[in-house]
A and B are shown apart, each in its own frame.
Chain A
């Protein structure tokens, strides 16, 4: 089973309000990632957890938070949503090691109004 599950599939948020997206995987992968995908753009890495160590990309450091209470679960938190946060958010997981592929969830489409 190579399933990564994301909830919800669609989310509507108001400007200035917080947003929390959820991801889970049952493959016992030690690394979990969050990507942001906008139309006609490449998926952009926001952050990832290797085990319990959080790594955030420098240009999105202050915009996104995350938690990983256990190996299977990872969340993405936006403290105050802006219009520019409207995008598809993709969660992925993999085993450690550069050669290992990432398995992606179906994504959460976030619309900020």
Chain B
């Protein structure tokens, strides 16, 4: 069974700085996919960025980037030039394959990010 762990409960940063969030995972699969989502104040969960386990390059989308360290089973999220609206709960998630078809995502507990002016 897979497991996703986010140890940071909350992080506070000043606007326009960089924030880094940690995530470690456990899986028996040789190929897997890692995702980051954020939950807004309204409760909506929004997809941010994905890392494919077979790719060595770190994924980057806009001001989101990933620090993928496969030997450490780690997938950190980096947000540069943070804005007030980046304040949210950020979830790390993993997708496994079972019985030859994809299952749902397994999520971590989330990290609450507060961005202050």
Question: A residues engaging B (CB < 8 A)?
Answer: 31, 33, 35, 37, 40-45, 48, 50, 55, 88, 90, 92, 96-107, 109
CB <8 Å contact, A107 and B44: yes
Known: A98-B102, A102-B35. 14 other contacts (CB 8 A): A33-B104, A42-B91, A42-B108, A42-B109, A44-B107, A48-B103, A48-B104, A55-B103, A98-B31, A99-B50, A101-B47, A102-B104, A104-B47, A106-B42
CB <8 Å contact, B35 and A101: yes
CA distance A31 to B44 in the complex (A): 19
Interface of B is mostly: strand
With contact pairs A98-B32, A101-B50, A102-B47 given, residues A35 and B96 touching in the complex (Cβ less than 8 Å): no
Residues of B within 8 A of A96 (CB): 101-102
Q: Report the minimal beta-carbon distance from B5 to chain A, rounded to whole angstroms.
A: 10
CB <8 Å contact, B45 and A90: yes
Question: B residues engaging A (CB < 8 A)?
Answer: 4, 31-33, 35, 37, 42-47, 50, 52, 91, 95-97, 101-110
CA distance A33 to B31 in the complex (A): 22
With contact pairs A42-B109, A98-B32, A98-B33 given, residues A104 and B104 touching in the complex (Cβ less than 8 Å): no
Residues of B within 8 A of A104 (CB): 37, 44-47
